[in-house]
Amino acid sequence: MRKFSDSPSQQRVIRLLLERGFSVNEEGRVVSGGIEIPNTGIAREAGVDRRVVNATTDAILADDELRPIFRNISAVPSLMDLAPVLDMTVLTVTVRDAEESGIVAAVTGRIADHGIPVRQVLSEDPEFTDEPRLYVITDDSLPGGLITDLQDLGFVRRIELE
């Protein structure tokens, strides 16, 4: 983000690429795997002109640090949107300081202590969001005792269940 500090519109494109796991191929096209994503679609989603997308991908390819990152980034499928359809539980944990170490281990450890298997864990990067969250998806409902245990963790600010 520092490299695009003088262009908020290019930062929006960078955030979108990172959030979605889109990479940039050797021709400067935004792709997901081998599927090309039209720059007009990227621009519309990021709220910028398509020329900003072109300028951003050109800058990525011209930069020796950014090029290998964006040439190799990939998307990870998430169960979050499928959870209601598949009757899964999504636990969302908002923390006081997302840069504190041991957050994921403490939360998943407490869940394991209650004998609940975890299907997926996703954490938002504090570099890309103002209020990063930890998401834990399970097949089972979470008992009240577990929620109390989680709330007692000093770093927990808020817990939500879906």
Q: What is the pLDDT of residues 36-63, one digit of tens each?
A: 999 999 999 999 999 999 999 999 999 9
Average pLDDT over residues 76-92: 92
Say if residues 12 and 47 touch (Cβ distance below 8 Å): yes
Confirm if 30 and 36 have CB atoms less than 8 A apart.
yes
Amino acid identity of residue 15, one-letter, is R
Amino acid at 78: S
- For the chain, domains (ranges, CATH) are 2-72 (no CATH), 89-161 (3.30.70.260)
Mean pLDDT of the chain: 94
Is 90 exceeded by the pLDDT of residue 77? no
pLDDT beyond 80 at 84: yes
Find all residues with CB under 8 Å of 40, minimum gap 6, and list them.
50
Instruction: State pLDDT tens for residues 86-145.
Output: 999 999 999 988 888 999 999 999 999 999 999 999 998 887 777 889 999 999 999 999
Look up residue 160 and give its two tokens. Answer: 């939500």
Residue 9's alpha-carbon distances to 16, 42, 47, 103, in angstroms, are 11, 12, 8, 32
